[in-house]
Structure 1
Amino acid sequence: METFLHKHQGEMLQLVEKLVNIDSGSTNKHGVDKIGTFLETCFQDLGFTVSVAKEMELGNHLIIQHKDIEKPEIIILAHLDTVFPIGTAKERPFRIEGNRAYGPGVIDMKSSLVSVLYAIKALIYENFDSYKHLKIILNSDEEIGSPSSRKIIEREAQGCKFALVMEPARKDGSVVTARRGKGNYTLIVEGKAAHSGIEPEKGRSAIEELAHKIIQLHELNDYKTGISVNVGLIEGGSSINTISDHAEAHIDVRIKKEEQINIVEGKLEEICSTSDVIGTKVSIEGEINRPPMVKNKQTRALLRIIQDVGDEIGIIIEDTETGGGSDASFTSSLGIATIDGLGPIGGNAHSEKEYLEVPSLVERTLLLATLIERLANK
């Protein structure tokens, strides 16, 4: 398979360029569906069937499996969307400088989409039939928390033993074996408006109440145990000379263990149960939308297999934990052995400096193809 992939490296890079130069931000349905339709055809040409889960506002999701599928025990997760607005691809299109390729979404995760496709092509070329033992989910909303695709991922993962998640490898090449869970909450304060010069005593400041609550929220941080609470965005008030009657705080919550969900949510409810500013009302809404991905017994066993495969093809595989979220959390929470970061190597995702280490495109595609073959024969 290595010879096949090296022979097609130029073709793979051309496909990465094609995908990078299509804007596909999460809310850009047209762009996301353009990439999805193109990849649908690519997989159909290889004898795969593609079921399209249609969405009205966001891009469609693709469920891909071979027409002669046999006992699918492997699920591959990848996403079609990026974080970049329309026009970004035109402003800074795909380019290669030395051993690095640049462009919006080049590593997160358009190179991974190419990697999945060519891993299948390599298996077919070598007359292996391991591709008949897997499902591939390409979803359109990972970058915004997978609100519509989560149920699809959890449904399709039922009965699978292994989940291979195609987020990029870390800058040092490490795969990801643990992620913190993530939640988004909005704290809402209702006060009473009044003119700040004429009758301020009649007002009840929502902003003042929100200030008290922000301090209390940040006091929940416990970095040693993996709990972090951050108020990242606040809104409130209508004018500088008006006592504010409305204010909001948007809160990012991260947890390391499943049991911390109830602990954190209990403390959030406690904070919002009373007002520090008499006459204001406080409420909170939101949830933990990604459970933590835990490095459990199943994941450790899968990591050892990946490391053995790496040794076989001459790659040293290390693993790491990260605080960022991904769809790996969904399969991990179902008890499925899950490894993330199986895409090519790169860095600076979600920024103007996002890059792909070009040699890793073939290297990590070979790792993926060899791993599929190994797992299908387990």
Structure 2
Amino acid sequence: MKAFLQSNEENMLTLLEKLVNIDSGSTNKAGIDAIGKELKAIYEELGFLIETIHETDHGNHLIIKHKTAIDPKIIVVAHMDTVFKLGTAKERPFTQQNGIAYGPGVIDMKGSHVALIYALKALLNSQRNGYENVQIVLNSDEEIGSPTSRALIEKHAIGKDYALIMEPARKDGSLVTVRRGGGRYSLYVQGKGAHSGIEPQNGISAIAELAHKIIKLHALTNHEEGISVSVGLIEGGESVNTIAPSAVGHVDVRISKLEQAEWLDRRIKEICSTPDIAGTTITLEGGINRPPMVKNEQTIALLNIIREVGNDLGIEITDIATGGGSDASFTSAAGVPTIDGLGPIGGNAHSVEEYLEVPSLVERTNLLAELIARLSK
């Protein structure tokens, strides 16, 4: 399979360039659906059946399995959306230099789509088992918390023996076995506006109320327990000489254990239920939408299989914990042995320096193909 992939490296890069040069930010339904159209055509050509889950406000999701599949035991999850705004691909399209590929979404995770497609091509070309043992979920909203695809992932995780999540490998090539869970809240405060020079006594500052809440919310952070609460974005007021009639705080929360979710959600709601400044009103929206991905015995057993496959290929497999979220949390919480980071090697995701190490494209695609074959024995 490696020889097949090596002979197709240029074809892989051509597909990667095509995908990178299509804007597909999470709010860009047309762009995500354009990516889906490209991928759908490729999978159909390989003999796979595609079910399109239509969405009104977000990109459509694709559920894919081979026409000969009966009861696939491996769920593979990859997202089609990126974090980049419309026009980014035109501003800085796909480029290559000294064995490094650049472009919006090149590593997170358009390179992973190329790897998955060519891993299946390699299995089909070599007539190895595995292509008929995967249920693929391509979703369109991972970068914004998978609001419409979470239930879809959880549904297709039922009855699976393994979950392979196609986020990129870390910069050092490590796979991901631990992820923190978390979510987002938005805190809307209403006060009463007044001119700060003429009648400040008639005003009630929404910003002042929000400040009280920020201090209390930040106090919930406990780094030793893996809990963090951060108000990362605030807005408020109308002008510098006006008592602020409204303010908004957007809150990011992270947890390391599933049981922390209920406690933290309850405490946030308690804090926001009572104003510190009389006359203000508070509306709280959001919640914890990702459970943590825990490194349990099932995870370790799957990791050991991957290490065996890696040893056969001359690849040392290491693993790492990360604070970032992914759809791995959903399959892990569903009780399916889950490993994340099975895409190519790269880094600086979500930034203008995002990159993919070109040699890793063949290497990690080969690892994925051999892993699927091994898990399908």
Name the TM-score, length of structure 2 as normaliser.
Answer: 0.98
Alpha-carbon separation, structure 1, partners of 2:241 and 2:163: 56
Alpha-carbon separation, structure 2, partners of 1:92 and 1:43: 28
Shift of 1:270: 2.2
Alpha-carbon separation, structure 1, partners of 2:84 and 2:186: 24
User: What does residue 121 of structure 2 align with?
Assistant: 121
Q: SS of the counterpart of 1:248?
A: strand
Alpha-carbon separation, structure 1, partners of 2:269 and 2:39: 45
Alpha-carbon separation, structure 2, partners of 1:218 and 1:194: 29
Shift of 1:241: 2.0
User: What does residue 198 of structure 1 align with?
Assistant: 198
Q: Partner amino acid for 1:126?
A: S
Q: Deviations over 1:318-340 (max 9, x none)?
A: 00000001010110010000000
Shift of 1:156: 1.2
**Which structure 1 residue ranges, 5 or more long, are not aligned?**
none
User: What does residue 227 of structure 1 align with?
Assistant: 227
Alpha-carbon separation, structure 1, partners of 2:315 and 2:66: 29
Q: SS of the counterpart of 1:6?
A: helix
User: What does residue 89 of structure 2 align with?
Assistant: 89
User: What does residue 369 of structure 1 align with?
Assistant: 369
Percent identity over paired residues: 62
Alpha-carbon separation, structure 2, partners of 1:191 and 1:95: 51
Shift of 1:13: 0.8
Shift of 1:203: 1.5
User: What does residue 345 of structure 1 align with?
Assistant: 345
Q: SS of the counterpart of 2:352?
A: coil
Alpha-carbon separation, structure 2, partners of 1:90 and 1:237: 36
Q: SS of the counterpart of 1:114?
A: helix
Q: Deviations over 1:283-311 (max 9, x none)?
A: 32211111111111111110000011100
Q: Deviations over 1:211-266 (max 9, x none)?
A: 11111111111111110011011111122222122111100000000010112112
Alpha-carbon separation, structure 1, partners of 2:196 and 2:307: 66
Asked if 1:307 is matched to 2:307, the reply is yes
Alpha-carbon separation, structure 2, partners of 1:293 and 1:329: 5
Alpha-carbon separation, structure 1, partners of 2:258 and 2:43: 37
User: What does residue 298 of structure 2 align with?
Assistant: 298
Shift of 1:135: 0.5
Q: Partner amino acid for 2:342?
A: L
Q: Partner amino acid for 2:355?
A: Y
Q: Partner amino acid for 2:80?
A: L
Alpha-carbon separation, structure 2, partners of 1:35 and 1:272: 41
User: What does residue 211 of structure 1 align with?
Assistant: 211
Alpha-carbon separation, structure 1, partners of 2:347 and 2:269: 38
User: What does residue 181 of structure 1 align with?
Assistant: 181
Aligned pairs (5 A) from 1:221-370: 221-370=221-370
Q: Partner amino acid for 1:25?
A: G
Alpha-carbon separation, structure 1, partners of 2:21 and 2:273: 49
Q: Where does structure 1 differ by over 3 angstroms across 4 or more consecutive aligned residues? A: none
Alpha-carbon separation, structure 2, partners of 1:312 and 1:141: 36
Shift of 1:269: 1.9
Q: Deviations over 1:106-148 (max 9, x none)?
A: 1001110000000000001111132111101111111111111
Q: Partner amino acid for 1:272?
A: C
Alpha-carbon separation, structure 1, partners of 2:129 and 2:367: 17
User: What does residue 160 of structure 2 align with?
Assistant: 160
User: What does residue 60 of structure 1 align with?
Assistant: 60
Alpha-carbon separation, structure 2, partners of 1:56 and 1:267: 34
Shift of 1:282: 2.6
Shift of 1:27: 1.2
Asked if 1:136 is matched to 2:98, the reply is no
Q: Partner amino acid for 1:71?
A: D
Alpha-carbon separation, structure 1, partners of 2:58 and 2:2: 37
Shift of 1:70: 2.7
Worse-superposed segment, 123-132 or 355-364 = 123-132
Alpha-carbon separation, structure 2, partners of 1:281 and 1:19: 47
Alpha-carbon separation, structure 1, partners of 2:261 and 2:130: 38
> Would you say how many aligned residue pairs link Structure 1 and Structure 2?
377
Q: Partner amino acid for 2:287?
A: E
Alpha-carbon separation, structure 2, partners of 1:269 and 1:143: 25
User: What does residue 22 of structure 2 align with?
Assistant: 22
Alpha-carbon separation, structure 2, partners of 1:152 and 1:75: 12
Shift of 1:28: 1.3
Q: Partner amino acid for 1:137?
A: V
Shift of 1:370: 0.4
Alpha-carbon separation, structure 2, partners of 1:106 and 1:272: 40
Q: Partner amino acid for 1:57?
A: D
Q: Deviations over 1:83-125 (max 9, x none)?
A: 1111111111111111111111110011100000000000011
